[in-house]
């Protein structure tokens, strides 16, 4: 039960302002959920250095440099560590799988909350505006970003339980709503050796979609497959290194508004999150239809 925001930029001139726009969008959704919040930013060269893989972890207060050194020792490659709020970004010039595996083996106690070459996932407990400031979000550039404010329903209020959920390379899901059969789907996935870190229903959806994509599905197919398996109420915003997608359940009670201009595609739970965006007055504004996958390619 939450607020969702997302920005998919078409105009490179806007990229330096991505973090600033996303911060305002996120702050506007505070009333929809003030337990915790999170953002994901694609293509920030500072947070996700080009030519490197980056893994985002929740390290429970462990020093970023110490953690980087531990992973570096395992990887036999240089690893940089950067602390942003409750999260730590670890980057290395290796492939994503190698870095993720090294993190998991060198530091099994940390929770891996994002991985990819372009994606940084930041999350924490507290008010969205304060978290965004703590991450330094207002100043960052990028070409795509999503954010989420959470009013926790049935799982714990922790950084790990916050959205976005990123479980496949450069993939990200944020959700507003409540799945009604996630426990069964979670157990079925566990039998396929896919395990969740949290009891959050959205993580089940994220892992289900990641599994479909790993099996070769496109984002449309993956979401359609998910719609056939996961029951309940949802507005989902799904992003990858190539795509930005929105889907609502067939009943479509949870709010969603899409704004398209030549400069960007924006999506939010409420229009007011987008009211400050440049050129919004001339945007093509609409609410996504039930059960239909909307997606945009880079």
Other C-beta atoms lying within 10 Å of the C-beta of residue 119: 30
DSSP state at residue 136: T
Contact 126, 77 (CB under 8 A): no
Q: Which of 27, 33, 142, 161 binds other proteins (CB under 8 A)?
A: 33
Q: Which of 200, 219, 201 minimizes the C-alpha distance to 209?
A: 219
Residue showing tokens 């930041």: 122
Contact 39, 146 (CB under 8 A): yes
Residue 154 in the binding site for other proteins (CB under 8 A): yes
* String marking each residue 62-91 x if it binds other proteins according to CB under 8 A: ------------------------------
Minimum distance from CB of 284 to other proteins (Å)? 11
Q: Which of 32, 123, 175, 295 binds other proteins (CB under 8 A)?
A: 32
Closer residue to other proteins in complex, CB, 70/150: 150
Stretch that binds other proteins, among 61-69, 76-84, 170-178, 208-216 (CB under 8 A): 170-178
Stretch that binds other proteins, among 47-55, 65-73, 115-123, 147-155 (CB under 8 A): 147-155
Catalytic residue check, 2? yes
Closer residue to other proteins in complex, CB, 116/177: 177
- Rg over alpha carbons for the chain, rounded to the nearest Å, is 18
Closer residue to other proteins in complex, CB, 19/33: 33
80 has which bridge partners?
91
Closer residue to other proteins in complex, CB, 53/267: 267
- What are the two backbone dihedrals, phi and then psi, of residue 259, each rounded to the nearest 5 degrees? -125, 125
Q: Which of 210, 213, 257, 293 binds other proteins (CB under 8 A)?
A: 257
Three-class SS of residue 12?
helix
Using CB under 8 A as the binding criterion, the count of chain residues that bind other proteins stands at 31
C-alpha torsion angle, residues 16, 21, 22, 23 (rounded to 10): 110
Q: How far apart are CA 201 and CA 163, in angstroms?
A: 11
Contact 34, 74 (CB under 8 A): no
Minimum distance from CB of 156 to other proteins (Å)? 11
Contact 23, 139 (CB under 8 A): no
Closer residue to other proteins in complex, CB, 94/257: 257
Binding positions for other proteins, rule: CB under 8 A: 1-3, 28, 31-33, 35, 151, 153-154, 176-178, 233, 252-255, 257, 269-273, 275, 285-287, 289-290
Residues identified as active-site: 2
């Amino acid at each position: 039960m939450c607020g969702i925001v997302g920005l998919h930029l078409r105009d490179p001139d806007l990229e330096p302002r991505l973090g600033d726009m996303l911060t305002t969008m996120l702050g506007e959704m505070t009333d929809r959920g003030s337990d915790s919040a999170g953002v994901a930013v694609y293509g920030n060269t500072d947070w996700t250095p080009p030519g490197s893989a980056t893994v985002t972890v929740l390290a429970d207060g462990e020093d970023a440099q110490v953690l980087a050194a531990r992973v570096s020792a395992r990887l036999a490659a240089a690893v940089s560590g950067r602390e942003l709020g409750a999260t730590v970004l670890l980057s290395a010039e290796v492939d994503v799988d190698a870095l993720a595996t090294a993190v998991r083996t060198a530091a099994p106690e940390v929770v891996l909350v994002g991985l990819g070459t372009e994606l940084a996932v930041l999350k924490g407990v507290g008010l969205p505006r304060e978290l965004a400031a703590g991450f330094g979000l207002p100043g960052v550039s990028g070409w795509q970003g999503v954010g989420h404010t959470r009013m926790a329903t049935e799982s714990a209020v922790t950084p790990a339980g916050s959205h976005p959920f990123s479980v496949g390379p450069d993939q990200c899901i944020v959700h507003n709503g409540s799945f009604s059969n996630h426990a069964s789907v979670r157990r079925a996935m566990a039998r396929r050796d896919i395990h969740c870190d949290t009891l959050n229903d959205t993580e089940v959806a994220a892992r289900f979609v990641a599994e479909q994509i790993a099996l070769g599905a496109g984002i449309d197919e993956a979401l359609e497959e998910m719609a056939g398996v996961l029951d309940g109420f949802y507005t989902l915003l799904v992003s990858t290194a190539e795509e930005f997608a929105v889907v609502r359940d067939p009943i479509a009670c949870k709010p969603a508004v899409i704004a398209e201009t030549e400069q960007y595609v924006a999506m939010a739970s409420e229009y007011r999150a987008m009211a400050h965006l440049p050129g919004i007055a001339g945007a093509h504004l609409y609410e996504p239809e039930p059960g239909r996958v909307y997606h945009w390619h880079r």
